[in-house]
Amino acid sequence: MEFALGGLSGVCAGFFSNPFDVMKTRQQLQGELMKAKDVKHKPYKNIFISVQSIVRAEGWKGLQKGLSAQTAFQFTMNSVRLGMYQTLDDLGYLKPDDNGKLSTWRSVAAGAFCGFIGVTASTPFYMIKTQLQSQTANAKYAVGYQHKHKGLFDAVKNIYNSNGVKGLWKGYTAIIPRNCVGSSVQLSTFSTCKEFVGQYEIFANSIFFAALVSSLATGLVTCVFMTPFDTAATRMFNQPVGTDGRGLLYKNVFDCFIKITKTEGFFGGFYKGFLPNYFRMAPQHLLNLTFWEKFKEINRKFNK
């Protein structure tokens, strides 16, 4: 049941945060491997201009580009990740002594491990989500390589026909650090914040308020640590691939980090899309983790 609850909470969060995810993806691809001074046209310079560019090129529906793949990714990844984490917590692995106090280091390690397993299962959906979100029919607003998939199933067919099953995991080395870092920081910070605010009566009596404050703080901390890895994953997954299955822009995640740093600088390159990434993460963490807590509460009452 923990796995299903985690998946459902991820789907709810993914729907509301997807527009910011689209903006984040396009900002991260804008000016790829170009120095800031050489980027003349910036259709995704900030959040407001990003919204204008997307709506002008594709209408309001453009803000939900890649939603089907996003939903599949969130359900698969969070059902495994949150389900495993909750199971470890229920078994007492995150609380090393009888006083029931959460171990931060065990929580970090468990979050990283659960994130690794979850993203291994959901990598194909993340790749397709990224490629669909970057697509636009208007060349004026195009950034990054345009794969021209018609949808989720068409993307699976195209990738499989070109590079076989292994093609669906192309770029896997980039998403491992992204999700291990993101998951460990997210779950440990959320658990620690929730335990801290639970000392106060207003939060102790309300799962929603405790989850609300914990989620907003967790979103900021996670965004700071995860954004560089998120940018690298976006670049790796969206790059064109040759007939031999090798990426034409980046050989691996280390090559990606080196090239971005050399051409765009660390902060100028890896922290592209930071604001939409936070505005994506804050509601996603809020909705994902709050729904997760509420679903668990309903499940506990139902099983009494």
Predicted confidence at residue 209, as pLDDT, reads: 77
Question: Per-residue pLDDT tens for 77-90?
Answer: 888 887 888 788 87
257 in a domain, yes or no? yes
> 205: which residues sit within 8 A by CB, 6+ positions away?
none
Contact 243, 200 (CB under 8 A): no
Mean pLDDT of 149-177: 92
Q: CA–CA separation, 125 vs 68, rounded Å?
A: 9
Residue 63 three-state SS: helix
pLDDT of amino acid 147: 94
pTM value surpassing 0.75: yes
Q: Using 50, 70 and 90 to split pLDDT, how confident is the model at 148?
A: very high
Place of tokens 């998120």: 230
**Residue 96: CATH number of its domain:** 1.50.40.10
35-46: b (≥16 Cβ within 10 Å) or e: eeeeeeeebbee
| Residue ranges making up the domain that contains 151 | 2-298
Between 27-41, 230-244, 250-264, the lowest mean confidence (pLDDT) is in 27-41
Range 131-148 average pLDDT: 94
pLDDT score at 290: 66
Closest CA to 122 of 162, 178, 161: 178
Q: Is the residue at 222 inside a domain?
A: yes
Mapping DSSP onto H, E and C, the string for 259-294 reads HHHHHHCHHHHHCCCHHHHHHHHHHHHHHHHHHHHH
Q: What is the pLDDT of residue 98?
A: 58
81 contacts 114 by C-beta, under 8 angstroms:
yes
Total domain count for the chain?
Answer: 1
Query: Is residue 157 a part of any domain in this protein?
Result: yes
pLDDT tens across 267-277, in order? 999 999 999 99
In a domain, 188, yes or no: yes
More confidently predicted of 38 and 54 = 54
What is the residue-wise DSSP string for 206-236?
-HHHHHHHHHHHHHHHHHHHHHHHHHHHHHH
Please check whether residue 303 lies inside any domain of the structure: no
Domain presence at residue 73 = yes
The string of pLDDT tens digits covering residues 107-126 is 878 888 888 898 899 999 99
Average pLDDT, whole number, for the chain? Answer: 85
Tell me how far CA of residue 300 lies from CA of 9, 34, 304, in angstroms. 16, 53, 6
When pLDDT is cut at 50, 70 and 90, the band that residue 155 belongs to is very high
Cα separation, 24 vs 29, whole angstroms: 9
Q: What's the chain's Rg over C-alpha atoms?
A: 19
